[in-house]
Amino acid sequence: MAIVNVQKVTRKSDYSDLDLNFGMHPVTGDITKKVGVEAIARSVRNLIFTNFYDRPFNPQIGSNAQKLLFENIDMMTANLLKDAIIQVIQNFEPRAQVIDVVVQSRPDENGYTARIAFRPINRTEPYTITVFLERIR
């Protein structure tokens, strides 16, 4: 009688989210969705652009990034933006581990360029997104 070792095969979980551009799927006609790392990147981007008290019943979700954009464009504000981005990702995006955040001031364009490198939890390779932060009001 042979003893067979049966191991449960676990599949890497893949994340999905709605595409906020509300594009239509060419075959099904449904709203398209973001999957995998793209869904996490969209979530990170949304968290950065969310102000405190923007989400009903969850006033603590968000970053101070929009408020900081009305300060002087200098290195001190860039460092505060970097800290705010790291904090919001660490607090509210459990699927991403922050590797590095680089914020560069763009005084001629009245904003900042933020390059965010993170590693999704179920992946080994890092992923980088670049976001331009500017005042809108």
Q: Does any domain span residue 11?
A: no
16 close to 34: Cβ distance less than 8 angstroms:
yes
Query: What per-residue confidence (pLDDT) applies to 9?
Result: 41
* Total domains present in the chain: 1
Query: What per-residue confidence (pLDDT) applies to 15?
Result: 74
The boundaries of the domain holding residue 83 are 16-134
The domain spanning residue 113 has which CATH number?
3.10.450.40
Q: Does any domain span residue 123?
A: yes
Residue that is written with structure tokens 């860039």 in the block: 78
| Tens-binned pLDDT, residue by residue, of the chain (137 aa) | 445 444 444 445 577 777 777 778 788 888 877 778 888 999 899 999 998 888 889 889 988 888 899 999 999 999 999 999 999 999 999 999 999 999 999 999 999 999 999 999 888 899 999 999 998 86
Q: Does any domain span residue 120?
A: yes
- The residues facing 98 across adjacent strands are 118
Query: What per-residue confidence (pLDDT) applies to 137?
Result: 66
User: What size, in residues, is the chain?
Assistant: 137
117 close to 126: Cβ distance less than 8 angstroms:
yes
Q: Does any domain span residue 10?
A: no
